[in-house]
Amino acid sequence: MTDGKGQGMATLIVTGGSRGIGAAVARLGARRGYAVVVNYTADEAAAQATVRAIREAGGTAEAIRGDVADEADVRALFDAAERLGPLSALVNSAGIIGPYGRLDAADAAGVRRLMDINVVGTILCCQEAVRRLSTRHGGPGGAIVNLSSIAADLGAANEYVAYAASKGAVDSLTIGLAREVAREGIRVNAVRPGLIDTDIQVIPGVGNRLDTLAPASPMGRAGTVDEVAELVLWLLSDAASYVTGALMNVSGGR
């Protein structure tokens, strides 16, 4: 599982850590001193590339496969993380955009898979984190950051209404869980990115959404994954020790 370098280091689990925002969070987390578990579902090559970049920079990381919507996979992911070092933090970055276009054209199977990953998966990972981190269960405390989206406010009409609804659920989960475990040593917050330059912005048959949407945004540009990662790591840090239940936008004013 590990070469031993990570033993004793606080461990950070990043679901969906192989690409995009998740990979940026994993890299920055390693630079901030965490042993990082890079979770992935299918793209092993991308996950290993993230791990390799962390190790080459002197950090400690392992790639662990697991479907966040599968309860057994989630338990196995957390077990593997604790072998790397004591669990301290969870970032729920795994997510998909689901069917693109009008809601009345979306297929039920695609919507179910969207909700399984974005909502059920986030809930299952939060449950497992609380069981291991909460002082109520004998844990040391810790922090959870959920990746939501500004789409939860905007609604994403004609593009991603179901996706927006899934992120609205993540917002509600964040607020409720934060209040539930606030006296158990766990802080829970959400980061809500807007137009971020990642490959999910490229829609087959449509093109790159950023080409038209980014110039029209208040700041006139898309954000970067590193700008999102900075906020995530701040929320995990002691500098945010009195911040819980917050929904924080990284959207360039959109």
Show which residues are catalytic: 163
Strand partners, 92: 15, 146
- The CA radius of gyration of the chain, in Å to the nearest whole number, is 17
Query: Cβ–Cβ contacts within 10 Å for residue 4, how many?
Result: 8
Query: Could you give the C-alpha distances from 191 to 9, 60, 165, in angstroms and in order?
Result: 25, 25, 16
Q: How far apart are CA 128 and CA 136, in angstroms?
A: 13
Q: How far apart are CA 103 and CA 202, in angstroms?
A: 19
Asked if 50 and 17 count as a contact pair (C-beta separation under 8 A), the reply is yes
Q: How far apart are CA 231 and CA 191, in angstroms?
A: 8
Q: How far is CA 22 from the centre of its chain?
A: 6
Asked if 217 and 209 count as a contact pair (C-beta separation under 8 A), the reply is no
Which amino acid would we find at residue 240? A
